[in-house]
Amino acid sequence: MRGPALPSARLFVRQDGTTLRAHHVHAAWGTARRRADLPGAHLHDLRHAGLTLAAQSGATLAEVMRRAGHSSSRAAMIYQHAAERRDAEVAAGLGRLAAGTTRNRTGTQRARRGR
């Protein structure tokens, strides 16, 4: 894996500075899964979670594509599904704002102060 700032530099290396090989990554991932008690977790799940969180945080399709290295929007659309699920939540929040009420993080409703 190489970093975007210096494409010729390795992003991850072994402790002695030598090239990190696939079997090193898989061994470390196996240890992490056991310690986290997540035996069914796959390394690709981390990528999916990161790209889904990017979409949920408001990243555009083009931004998700760039982060993932996708050349087509078809692949990047996989990560947009979670952002689409928030539509109802966003609509409800907009409705509360329009009605003059807001809801705090605990779910308690309060009247909006007039200006």
The residue count of the chain comes to 115
Same domain, 26 and 66: no
Contacts of 104 (CB under 8 A, 6+ apart): 110
Same domain, 68 and 88: yes
Quote the CA–CA distance of 78 and 56 in Å, as a whole number: 12
Look at residue 6 in the predicted model and tell me its pLDDT. Answer: 63
Look at residue 36 in the predicted model and tell me its pLDDT. Answer: 94
Same domain, 18 and 7: yes
Residue-number span of the structural domain to which 22 is assigned: 1-41
Look at residue 58 in the predicted model and tell me its pLDDT. Answer: 82
Q: What is the dihedral of CA 17, 22, 25, 31, to 10 degrees?
A: -130
Look at residue 113 in the predicted model and tell me its pLDDT. Answer: 55
Block means of pLDDT (10 residues each) for the chain, length 115 residues?
Answer: 61 83 90 94 89 86 90 83 71 86 61 54
